[in-house]
Amino acid sequence: MQSSTFYRTHHCGQLRISDIEKEVILTGWVNKSRDLGGMTFVDMRDRYGITQLVFNMETNAALCEAARKLGREFVIQVKGKVAERSNKNNNIPTGEIEIIVDELNILNHSELPPFTMEDETDGGEELRMKYRYLDLRRPQMQKRLMIRANMVKAVREYLDAEGFVEIETPMLIKSTPEGARDFIVPSRLQPGLFYALPQSPQILKQLLMVSGMDRYYQIAKCFRDEDFRGDRQPEFSQIDCEMSFVRQEDVWNMFEGMVKYVFKKIKNMELPDFNRLPYLDAIKYYGTDKPDLRFDCKIVDLNEAVTGSEFAVFNNIISSNGLIAGINAKGCCEYSRKQIDELTEFVKAPQRGAGGLIYIKYNLDGTIKSSIDKFYNEDKLKEIGKLFNAQSGDLILIVADKINRTRKVLGELRLELAKKQNWINKDDWSIFWVVDMPLFEPDEDSGEPIFAHHPFCSPHPDDFQYMDSDPLRVRAQSYDLVMNGNEILSGSIRVHDKTLQEKIFKILGFSEAEKEKRFGFLVNAFKYGAPPHGGLAFGLDRWVQLMAGGETIRDVIPFPKNNAGKDLMMDAPGEVDDKQLEIVGIKLK
C-alpha cells in the first residue's frame, strides 16, 4: 500500500511488538483518554484499529498538559517511539505496544458528538441515522462496510474468472405501464414525458443475451417505490447475472460455485453441496417457500389420522377440503397454560388469522394431556404422536383451517418456537435451492392464471403437455436460493422461442395491444435470433446482512433511508423550487 510519510508512517492497526523502538507518525481520532495524574493515555482510532498513546508528565509536562485537553473525536497526529506495554491488552492486535509521544499536532477539533463511537453506542437509531457519518465511525459499522466490499470483490473475482462481462445498464429507462411501483423522473428536454428508474435490469440483461454478450453481470442499483414494510429500501442493490446457452443445472452449478467461493473468501468456510428442495415440498413441510432449515420440525398432515371422531371442528375442516396439520415442539411439554395461550394468540393474530391452536402434551411421566382428549383417547393420541416421532417431553401443536392458512400459520409458528426455544445455532448455515416453482398462479379473485414471476420464465420441458389442459400444474424453470430462511436470489431460464412466448401470452389473456405496450421492444428483439438463456439476481443487501450481521439491511447500507423512505441525514426528499418544476413541465397538485 502506497503512503507518503507526511501525515503518517503507519496506521492505527499496524504496529506490533516487532516494531519496538521505531520512530513513527500516526494520525487518527481520539477514541478515549485516561488521565492518571502522572501519565495520560489516549486511545487513537482509525479504520484499521486502535493504538495506545502515552504522555508522561515527568518527561514532558507541556505535552502531557496538551494531551489532557484533547476532546473525544479530535483528529490528531503524533510522532513518537513504539514501546512495549507493561499492561498488555490481548483483545486488540496492537495491544502489546504503545507510542511514547514526542510531538502532538491537532489536525482538527470536534464538538462533543451526540453519541459514543462504540459498538455498544448510546445513540438510538434515529439519532444515528441523522449523524450517519458519525455512526459509520463505529468499528462494527466499518467492519460491515468492509465485509460488503470484500463480498462484492469475491463475487467479481469469481464471475470474471468464469468469463462474465460486467456491463452497466441505464438508470433512466422507460416507465412500464404496470409500473405503479416505478419511481418516475420528469424530463426537461421533453417536458411532460418521464423516465423511470429501473425496478431491475431484467429486460436489458435479456437484450444483452440477444446481443450475444453470452455472460453478463452487474452490481445493479434497483428502485421500487412501495411501502417499506418488511425491512425494504426504496433503492437496493442486486448482483444481476445472465448466461446464454444454459439449462437450469448450469445456472445452479455456476452460482452454487459462486456462493461457495464467497463463503470461503469471507468466512474461510467450505460449504457442502446445496440441496434442491421442490417448491411444493417447501410449502408442504415448512409452510413457506423460504424455510429456515437450521432446525427440523416438519409440518405433518393429519386429516387422515383424525378422521372419524366426534370433533365437529375437525370434521368441518375435512369436509370443506381444509387441512388439519401440526408440528412437534420438541421438549416443550412443560409449557404452561400461559405459554400456550401466547402461542394461541400468535396464530390468531390478524395477519395469520387461525381460529385457534390445539395441543397434545406427551409428558415426561408418560401421560398425555391434550385440548382434544374429549374426542381422542390415549391410544389415538399416541398414534398421532408417532406421526411426529413424538417422545416423552414433546408438545404437538395443531392448526385446522383452509389449506394455505394452516400451512402458513404452522410455518410461522415453527419459526416462533425456534426463537423461543433457541433451536437455531447462530453459527449454522442452511443454504439450499428451491426449485420447480409453478409457472402461473391463480388470480385471487378470478382464479385465472397470472404469472407467478414474470412472463418470460420458461415452463419446465416435462410440463409442456399441461400448458393447454392444466396450466396451473405447469412448473416453471425458476429457482430461488434460500439462506437461513431468507430468499437471497431468484432466477429462471427465460423463454427465447417466439411461439412458446405467444402461447404464454395467450394463457395470460394479453391482448396484442397490451403485449406491445408492456413488452414491445423485448418481443421485437426476440425476432432476431435470441439464444436460449437464463439467469438470476441476488439481493446483495440481505446477503451482506446475513454474512456481516446487523438487525436490518439498514445496518449494511452506507446511507440508508428509514421506513418512511426518508434520508434523515440529508433530509431527503425535500421541496424544490417552482421554477425547477416549471422547466420539467409539472406542478404540484
The nearer residue to its own copies, 245 or 464, going by C-beta atoms, is: 245
Q: Which stretch binds its own copies (CB under 8 A): 92-100, 137-145, 278-286, 319-327?
A: 137-145
The nearer residue to its own copies, 182 or 480, going by C-beta atoms, is: 182
Residue 56 CA to residue 53 CA, distance in Å, equals 10
Residue from 96, 214, 487, 502 in contact with its own copies (CB under 8 A): 214
- 237 has which bridge partners? 221
Residue 394 CA to residue 363 CA, distance in Å, equals 7
257-286: contacts with its own copies (CB under 8 A): 257
The nearer residue to its own copies, 109 or 386, going by C-beta atoms, is: 109
Q: How far is the CB of 568 from its own copies (least distance, A)?
A: 10
Three-state SS for 452?
coil
Q: How far is the CB of 560 from its own copies (least distance, A)?
A: 8
Total site size for its own copies, rule CB under 8 A: 135
Distances (CA, A) of 198 to 153, 204, 205: 24, 10, 12
The nearer residue to its own copies, 83 or 171, going by C-beta atoms, is: 171
Q: How far is the CB of 391 from its own copies (least distance, A)?
A: 45
Binding to its own copies by residue 521, rule CB under 8 A?
A: yes
Nearest partner of 225 among 233, 238, 234, 236, judged by Cα = 234
559-588: contacts with its own copies (CB under 8 A): 559-561, 564-567, 569-577, 579-588
Residue with cell 455512526: 135
Angle among Cα 72, 73, 79 to the nearest 5 degrees reads 100
Residue from 17, 20, 61, 172 in contact with its own copies (CB under 8 A): 172
Phi, psi of 464 (to 5 degrees): -50, -35
Site string for its own copies, 469-508 (x = CB under 8 A): ---------------------------xxx----------
Residue from 23, 103, 231, 250 in contact with its own copies (CB under 8 A): 250
Residue from 57, 64, 121, 182 in contact with its own copies (CB under 8 A): 182
The nearer residue to its own copies, 249 or 512, going by C-beta atoms, is: 249
Find the farthest-apart pair of alpha carbons in the chain and give their distance in angstroms, rounded.
Answer: 93
111-130: contacts with its own copies (CB under 8 A): 111, 113
C-alpha cell belonging to residue 80: 513518537
Nearest partner of 187 among 196, 195, 199, 176, judged by Cα = 195
Residue 228 CA to residue 225 CA, distance in Å, equals 8
Three-state SS for 45?
strand
- Are 343 and 364 contacting, i.e. CB atoms less than 8 angstroms apart? no
What is the rounded radius of gyration, in angstroms, for the C-alpha atoms of the chain? 30
The reply to whether omega before 560 is within 30° of 0 (cis) is: no
The nearer residue to its own copies, 111 or 427, going by C-beta atoms, is: 111
The nearer residue to its own copies, 7 or 464, going by C-beta atoms, is: 7
Q: How far is the CB of 336 from its own copies (least distance, A)?
A: 43
Within 10 angstroms of residue 188's Cβ, the number of other Cβ atoms is 10
Q: Which stretch binds its own copies (CB under 8 A): 51-59, 136-144, 265-273, 442-450?
A: 136-144
